[in-house]
């Protein structure tokens, strides 16, 4: 039986591509119950005729919703509303037409690579949190917990890291923290004595530098090239500065340039660290977001068991910036030092939240969310890359990142700082490369964190970017 005609309410002047406006209208009808799970949608030719648009436009809308999990295409049968709609997904943000009086809205922003909080699996997390609060272990507890974190989450994380990242992590060697920023601070406290230094990537992650300085360490920049941290430059830095006791790296997707460190350089780095007896601090902040090929295994997965190594990760990047939960895996006595420092400032973590996240890992909810979020972010990355190419062409340069939640944009002949200033006045916040350097000359580049913007917002942001280009 052929499906009924589908009358959709589409804005006359949609904000962004027409296919996204059609996708948004279908999503809205699913959410308000007009389109039920399992409902068959009209064919692309029939709906295109009904809407008065090209068939390819409808096909693009269907592909977009299939990628996001709202629709399911069945060969020889048609396209249907998905039976198992994800609880955590919400429709794309609709930017309303201006009304009187005008509504003041916050400006658009290409962030540093923050995830979209609207994708948080809130219902699954709420159920798990309620179970944790009502559990006998929590309701009858009479003492503070372990400074290393709840055992249930450390065991769940141990299994997760082994299966997802190839990292063999004994639960006793894991420390749960309130976000990765705390983990980096504790790592510096344990690995570096007062007066010593940590070698860091430059350009690199300023919040890590702040954590290291707060722990009493000084930071020494080491240059980054197309392969990530330069091991040759690190060797020179160690030779010229005997204070260097640790090195901090983001090898999976270097922050901020997004490049991945290759296998040969990884082996060189491990050999250098072992030879000089310094501590390796590896920040694997967005391992889950790899769009092409398999994620590269962390350094921690192939490092010798006795290498002084601290492996830092975060669940905030996977869930939401508001969920402050990080972790660290380290060798002894580094982990003991981190736990002691943590106990001095924060006797324990958020036990109910840690128990709830352990549930999400064990029940598979976290893995399902990661897969769905990965599909959405890949679409957003592709929309950004296409819009940049269309609007700015040869005036810019970038490599489409294989993963991560940001794109590193070379500004060509334009000044990144001037471009950011002009865009800011037009309502778009940008992060120029000067934000990520310690003092050496910064490249003319911008870090475009796209994940928190939906597709229509990305297209609009690129329009502002193009209009703001310094001449």
Which structural domains are found in the chain, ordered by start? 18-85 (1.10.10.10), 109-119+371-467 (3.90.1150.10), 122-366 (3.40.640.10)
Pairing mode of beta strands 218-225, 197-202: parallel
Supply 334's token pair: 């580094």
Angle between helices 455-467 and 416-425 in degrees, nearest 10: 110
Distance from C-alpha of 200 to C-alpha of 282, rounded to nearest angstrom: 11
Give pLDDT, residue 90: 46
Pick from 347, 415, 442, 396: nearest CA to 146: 347
pLDDT at 139 over 70: no
Confidence of residue 4 (pLDDT cuts 50, 70, 90): low
Helix (H) or strand (E) holding 202: strand 197-202
Q: pLDDT tens for residues 409-459?
A: 999 999 999 999 999 999 999 999 999 999 889 999 999 999 999 999 999
Mean pLDDT, range 34-40, rounded to an integer: 87
Give pLDDT, residue 104: 40
Give pLDDT, residue 16: 65
Helix extents (H) in 105-179: 122-134, 136-139, 151-165
Return phi, psi of residue 75, to 5°.
-55, 135
Lowest mean pLDDT across 78-87, 188-197, 437-446: 78-87
Helix (H) or strand (E) holding 68: helix 55-68
pLDDT at 83 over 70: yes
Burial (Cβ within 10 Å: 0-12, 13-18, ≥19) of residue 179:
middle
Give pLDDT, residue 48: 86
How many other CB atoms are there within 10 angstroms of residue 166's CB atom? 14
Q: pLDDT tens for residues 217-250?
A: 999 999 999 999 999 999 999 999 999 999 999 9
Confidence of residue 34 (pLDDT cuts 50, 70, 90): confident
Residues 265/227, Cβ–Cβ less than 8 Å = yes
Would you say the pTM of this structure is higher than 0.85?
no
For the chain, give the mean pLDDT: 88
Give pLDDT, residue 258: 95
Measured in whole angstroms, the distance separating CA 453 from the mean position of its chain's CA atoms is 13
């Amino acid at each position: 039986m052929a499906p009924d005609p589908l009358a959709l309410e589409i804005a006359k002047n949609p904000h962004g591509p027409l296919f996204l406006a059609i996708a948004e209208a279908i999503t809205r009808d699913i959410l308000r119950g007009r389109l039920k799970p399992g409902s068959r949608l009209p064919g692309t030719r029939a709906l295109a005729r009904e809407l008065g648009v090209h068939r390819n436009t409808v096909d693009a809308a269907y592909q977009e919703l299939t990628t996001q999990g709202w629709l399911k295409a069945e060969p020889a049968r048609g396209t249907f509303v998905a039976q198992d709609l994800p609880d955590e997904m919400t429709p794309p943000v609709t930017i309303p037409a201006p009304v009187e009086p005008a509504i003041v809205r916050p400006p658009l922003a290409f962030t540093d690579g923050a995830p979209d909080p609207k994708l948080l699996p809130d219902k699954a997390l709420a159920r798990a949190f309620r179970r944790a609060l009502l559990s006998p272990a929590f309701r009858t507890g009479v003492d503070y917990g372990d400074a290393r974190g709840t055992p249930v989450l450390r065991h769940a994380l141990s299994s997760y890291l082994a299966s997802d990242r190839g990292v063999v992590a004994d639960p006793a060697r894991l420390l749960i923290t309130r976000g990765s920023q705390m983990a980096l601070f504790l790592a510096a406290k344990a690995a570096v004595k007062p007066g010593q230094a940590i070698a860091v990537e430059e350009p690199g992650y300023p919040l890590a530098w702040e954590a290291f300085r707060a722990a009493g360490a000084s930071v020494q920049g080491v240059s980054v090239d197309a392969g990530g941290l330069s091991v040759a430059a690190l060797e020179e830095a160690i030779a010229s500065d005997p204070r260097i006791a640790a090195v901090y790296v983001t090898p999976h997707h270097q922050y901020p340039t997004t490049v991945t460190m290759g296998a040969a350089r990884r082996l060189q780095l491990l050999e250098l660290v072992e030879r000089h007896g310094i501590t390796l601090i590896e920040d694997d902040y967005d391992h889950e977001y790899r769009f092409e090929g398999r994620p590269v295994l962390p350094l921690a997965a192939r490092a010798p068991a006795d290498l002084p190594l601290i492996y830092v990760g975060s669940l905030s990047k996977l869930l939401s910036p508001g969920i402050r939960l990080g972790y660290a895996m380290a060798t002894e006595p580094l982990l003991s030092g981190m736990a002691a420092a943590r106990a001095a400032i924060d006797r324990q973590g958020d036990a109910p939240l840690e128990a709830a996240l352990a549930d999400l890992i064990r029940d598979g909810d976290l893995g399902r969310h990661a897969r769905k979020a990965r599909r959405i972010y890949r679409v957003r990355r592709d929309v950004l890359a296409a819009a940049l190419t269309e609007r700015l062409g040869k005036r810019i340069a970038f490599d489409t990142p294989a993963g991560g939640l940001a794109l590193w944009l070379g500004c060509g002949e334009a000044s990144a700082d001037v471009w950011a200033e002009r865009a800011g006045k037009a309502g778009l916040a940008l992060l120029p490369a000067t934000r990520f350097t310690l003092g050496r000359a910064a490249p003319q580049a911008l870090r475009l964190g796209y994940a928190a913007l939906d597709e229509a917002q990305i297209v609009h942001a690129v329009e502002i970017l193009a209009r703001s280009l310094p001449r």
